[in-house]
């Protein structure tokens, strides 16, 4: 009798976990405003979202399966492709990979839409605060050739900008551009919620940044605003490669001046950090 009862308890526990797991099928999301433009590289992230989060208590431990989707634009250079994402939920101390699958052709000739579902179980002994916050980038190889990577290495899962949270950070990177005074440029994109038309001017979004641990800082406005997908883009030099030693990273926060007041995004007080690469000269 004890064995029968124990088996019943274990079966119920495993059934609960199985019911919490997501299915393998992924319904393609309808084309809406893309999170980032594409066409300048063979592989680009163009969208992302949380898809499903399941939670279950098992043997006194709190377990959660979180996952997200990423939508990719892939240049159709060869019939055989290996496409996917590399992602991390611990600030790149460790990373994982997930393979993508073909969905359809994109409007821009020569590009295909691929999607990927990524996620994992986490087992903890306390109730988590908020959602996991993975970051990721995308890769593709063509005809068994070497991998090509999205030039933007650190995407955040894009949340919708709302009246209560009008800033949705998308991505950023530092790029060395020899033809532009041999400088390192901070580039990125932010989606916003505009309360009225005046909030859509490029100078309404400001990046406050520092390369010396906030001993000094500079405010630089966004360079463009795209009304179609409600995004600001910034692209400006943060350090020159000549003269003083090049720092390891640039830290920054985002300010949005609107008709309803000023809003900040600073990664929950930790600031956003983009690492400065070693220039290939």
pLDDT digits (tens, 9 = 90+) for 247-262: 888 999 999 999 999 9
**The pLDDT of residue 114:** 93
d(CA 217, CA 206): 12
CATH class of 2-155: mainly beta
pLDDT (average), residues 207-213: 93
* pTM of the model as a whole: 0.56
pLDDT (average), residues 161-189: 83
What tokens does 171 get? Answer: 């991505």
Who wins on pLDDT, 45 or 15? 45
Q: Does residue 189 register a pLDDT over 70?
A: yes
**Domains of the chain, residue spans:** 2-155, 160-275
pLDDT digits (tens, 9 = 90+) for 17-43: 233 322 222 223 333 445 556 677 899
Q: Does residue 222 register a pLDDT over 90?
A: yes
User: Is 160-275 the same fold as 2-155?
Assistant: yes
Who wins on pLDDT, 94 or 29? 94
Q: Compute the residue count for the chain.
A: 281
Q: Does residue 149 register a pLDDT over 90?
A: yes
The highest-confidence range among 45-49, 166-170, 207-211, by mean pLDDT, is: 207-211
**The pLDDT of residue 127:** 43
Which stretches does DSSP call E strand in the chain? 43-58, 61-75, 81-88, 96-99, 101-105, 111-124, 135-142, 148-149, 155-156, 167-177, 183-192, 205-210, 218-221, 224-226, 231-240, 249-258, 261-265, 272-275
Check if CATH label 1.10.390.10 holds for domain 160-275.
no
Cα–Cα nearest to 63, from 18, 17, 24 = 17
């Amino acid at each position: 009798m004890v064995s029968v009862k124990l088996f019943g308890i274990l079966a119920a526990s495993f059934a609960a976990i199985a019911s919490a797991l997501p299915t393998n099928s992924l319904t393609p999301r309808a084309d809406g405003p893309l999170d980032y433009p594409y066409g300048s590289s063979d592989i680009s992230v163009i969208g992302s979202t949380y898809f499903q989060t399941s939670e279950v208590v098992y043997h006194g431990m709190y377990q959660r399966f979180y996952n997200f989707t990423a939508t990719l634009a892939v240049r159709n250079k060869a019939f055989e492709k290996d496409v996917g994402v590399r992602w991390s939920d611990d600030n790149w101390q460790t990373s994982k990979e997930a393979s993508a699958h073909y969905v359809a052709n994109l409007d821009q000739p020569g590009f295909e839409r691929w999607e990927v579902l990524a996620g994992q179980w986490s087992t903890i002994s306390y109730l988590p605060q908020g959602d996991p916050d993975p970051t990721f980038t995308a890769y593709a190889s063509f005809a068994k050739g070497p991998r090509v990577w999205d030039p933007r290495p650190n995407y955040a899962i894009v949340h919708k900008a709302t009246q209560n949270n009008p800033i949705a950070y998308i991505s950023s990177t530092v790029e060395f551009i020899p033809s532009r005074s041999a400088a390192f440029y901070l580039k990125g994109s932010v989606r916003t919620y505009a309360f009225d038309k005046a909030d859509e001017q490029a100078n309404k979004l400001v990046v406050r940044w520092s390369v010396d641990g906030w001993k000094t800082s500079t405010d630089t406005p966004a360079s463009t605003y795209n009304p179609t997908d409600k995004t600001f883009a910034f692209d400006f030099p943060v350090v020159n490669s000549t003269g003083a030693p090049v720092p390891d990273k640039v830290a920054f926060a985002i300010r949005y001046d609107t008709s309803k007041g000023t809003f900040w995004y600073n990664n929950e007080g930790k600031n956003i950090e983009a690492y400065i690469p070693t220039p290939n000269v």
